[in-house]
Amino acid sequence: MSATPNVSGGVRFLSRNFGLPGQTGIESAMKRGAYEMLKRAVAMKPEDVTALVKASGLRGHGGAGFSAGMKWSFVPKDKFPRYVCVNADESEPGTCKDRLILEYDPHLLLEGALICAFAVQAERIYIYIRGEYFYPWRVMEQAIAEARAKGLIGQNILGTGWSCDVQLATGAGQYICGEETGLIESLEGKKGWPRLKPPFYPAAIGLWGKPTIVNNVETLSFVPRIFEIGAEAFAGMGSPKNGGTGLFSLSGCVKNPGVYELPMGTPLQTLLYDLGGGICGNRKLKALIPGGSSSHILKAEECENLKLDFESVAAAGSMLGSAAVMAIDESVSIPRLTLWMARFYAHESCGQCTPCREGTGWILRLVTRILEGRGRKRDVDDLFQIADNIDGKTICALGQAVAWPTKSYVTKFRHEFDALVKE
């Protein structure tokens, strides 16, 4: 881990304290205002806190882009206890931004999580950290201990009579535990098999059957900032229906990969060329994956005027997802990219439901066969059709996560596949 995070060039709103000396310690964090917003929040009525977050237009930065305030308001009125789960199981290929928050500003996350817990009157916060994130675990562990020593976690927080504990938990490193119900199952000590829907919202029936808010690290970290500048100002920072900024993980064939903070709705060109320094070897951009490996691929011409917010990317035929932007230049073979993607999903399918368990492996074998030169013409059609048979027929979104890229790779770059197969 380099000493200074690569967030240079973008705006420094969420990330403004990243890399400042001593920032992970509570003393310096508090000097810079940490937990002031918590104080402000606990002076309000919990439902007003939720209303404020709703008004800010804050969307989930974990992948689905669901309105955070809306999610909080789904908690049924008379059901207790309630829990907040911080989803720090960042595993979507291409995504590496939550890690920076965990490592550089743990108190920002803690503060946001506590405000959320206060808003929904939760008695416990679980921070579920990806199994491979050893260092972030240690930073968080330290931060929690410090906050507890200061009375910010535990009984009667800030004299409000509201008590809330924080507990760290980790998975064994499975992608599927980032799916919110998979995460909950794993937290319960079971195999991380996503739950069957309906019930759709853990907000009503979640951890141990109790109301549970599962939010991504970045999403919760924005909450103190909303209090700082007000909901309206926050909403004004982004584009319509997309409040505030976002952390964009830029990777692939760019000169300066890294995490960049940008207002929602920033043009892709800014990220790719102004900040990312353009395509490696000054080659031409061939395609773009805008929201992590599970999003539809966009051809270069489809993203010339792309704006980086949930609606614009959806309108272009893909999704912003976890805002992991991957640039693909002319030198990259799409069938090889398919192999890489299929390998990941075949390995990470939890194996619970038929289409995903069997389909991911089948896709992998088909692509392998095509790349090894053993492919038949019909294999390309089969590839699409198998992906289509998975799409929307699974328990959790991992099915789509493999189906969408596969289908879009095959449709948009069919000639590359056809060139590899015999008649």
Partner 1 sequence: MPKIEIDGKPVEVPAGTNLVEAAKLLNIEIPTYCYHPGLTVVGSCRMCQVEMEQNGRTSVVLGCNTPAADGMKVITTSEKVHTLRASALEFLLQNHPLDCPICDDAGECDLQNYYMRYGLHDSRVNLLDKIHKHKVHDVGPTVVLDSERCVLCSRCVRFCREVAGVDELGIFGHGMQSELMNPPGKRLENDYSGNVVDLCPVGALTDKDFRFKRRVWYMERTPSVCTGCSRGCNINIDWEIERRYKDPQRRIQRLKPRYNRMVNEWWMCDRGRYGYHAVDAPDRLTAPHTRSETNGQGALTVDLVLQRAAAKIKAAVSKNGPKSVAVIASPHSSNEDLFLLKSLFVDTLKVDTIDINVSKEETGKQDEILMKADLTPNRRGAEEFGFHSGKNGGMSGDDILSGALDGDYDVLIVVHHDLSRLMGPKELAKLDQRCDYILYLGTHENGTVPVADDVIPLAMSAEREASYTNFEGRVQKTAKPFEPRGQARDEWSIWQDLAQLLGIPWKYASAADVFDAMGNSVPSFKGLTWEGLGNSGKMLAGVPEPAYRKVQSSKPLPAY
Instruction: Tell me which residues touch partner 1 (CB under 8 A).
Output: 174, 176, 190-191, 193, 196, 198, 346-355, 357-362, 365, 369, 378, 382, 389, 392-395
Could you give the residue ranges of the DSSP H alpha helices within 105-242? Answer: 106-119, 134-149, 180-187, 217-229, 231-237
Q: Which of residues 54-113 bind ligand SF4 (CB under 6 A)?
A: none
- H-run or E-run covering 288: strand 285-289
| Alpha carbons 18 and 96: distance in angstroms, whole number | 14
Chain centre to alpha carbon of residue 174: 15
Q: Say which entry of partner 1, ligand SF4, none residue 383 contacts (CB below 5 to 8 A, set by partner kind).
A: none
Query: From residue 350, how far is each of 16, 175, 358, 361 by CA, in Å?
Result: 38, 9, 11, 12
Q: Say which entry of partner 1, ligand SF4, none residue 190 contacts (CB below 5 to 8 A, set by partner kind).
A: partner 1
Per CB under 6 A, 122 contacts ligand SF4: no
Residue of 50, 242, 293, 352 interacting with ligand SF4 (CB under 6 A)? 352
φ, ψ of residue 56 in degrees (nearest 5): -75, -15
Per CB under 6 A, 351 contacts ligand SF4: yes
Per CB under 6 A, 176 contacts ligand SF4: yes
Say how many residues touch ligand SF4, by CB under 6 A: 14
Name the token pair of 423: 């008649």
Which one, 241 or 376, has the nearer CB to partner 1? 376
Q: Which one of the spans 49-57, 69-77, 346-354, 361-369 is the region binding ligand SF4 (CB under 6 A)?
A: 346-354
Which one, 226 or 353, has the nearer CB to partner 1? 353
Q: Say which entry of partner 1, ligand SF4, none residue 393 contacts (CB below 5 to 8 A, set by partner kind).
A: partner 1
Q: Which amino acid is at 389?
A: N
Which one, 143 or 390, has the nearer CB to partner 1? 390
- H-run or E-run covering 313: helix 310-315
301 contact partners, CB below 8 Å, separation of at least 6: none
Q: Say which entry of partner 1, ligand SF4, none residue 194 contacts (CB below 5 to 8 A, set by partner kind).
A: ligand SF4
Secondary structure (3-state) at 200: coil
Name the token pair of 64: 């689905």
Which one, 17 or 394, has the nearer CB to ligand SF4? 394
Q: Which one of the spans 67-75, 143-151, 205-213, 394-402 is the region binding ligand SF4 (CB under 6 A)?
A: 394-402
Cis-peptide into 240, omega within 30 deg: no
Name the token pair of 315: 């309108």
Q: Which one of the spans 65-73, 150-158, 351-359, 368-376 is the region binding ligand SF4 (CB under 6 A)?
A: 351-359
Looking up tokens 């596949």 gives: 417
Q: Which one of the spans 78-86, 87-95, 238-246, 391-399 is the region binding ligand SF4 (CB under 6 A)?
A: 391-399
Q: Say which entry of ligand SF4, partner 1, none residue 396 contacts (CB below 5 to 8 A, set by partner kind).
A: ligand SF4
| Alpha carbons 376 and 382: distance in angstroms, whole number | 10
Burial (CB count <10 Å: 0-12, 13-18, 19+), residue 131: middle
Q: Which one of the spans 56-64, 72-80, 151-159, 392-400 is the region binding ligand SF4 (CB under 6 A)?
A: 392-400
- Report, in Å, the least distance between residue 158 CB and partner 1: 37
Nearest-CA neighbor of 49 among 71, 79, 69? 69
- Report, in Å, the least distance between residue 366 CB and partner 1: 9
| Alpha carbons 70 and 89: distance in angstroms, whole number | 22
Which one, 15 or 400, has the nearer CB to ligand SF4? 400
C-alpha torsion sign, points 294, 296, 297, 298: negative
- Report, in Å, the least distance between residue 176 CB and ligand SF4: 5
Which one, 319 or 346, has the nearer CB to ligand SF4? 346
- How many other CB atoms sit within 10 Å of the CB of residue 3? 5
| Alpha carbons 110 and 33: distance in angstroms, whole number | 13
Residue of 53, 337, 396, 420 interacting with ligand SF4 (CB under 6 A)? 396
- Report, in Å, the least distance between residue 183 CB and ligand SF4: 12
- Report, in Å, the least distance between residue 77 CB and partner 1: 24
Looking up tokens 């669901």 gives: 66
Q: Which positions touch ligand SF4 (CB under 6 A)?
A: 176, 194, 349-353, 356-357, 394-396, 398-399
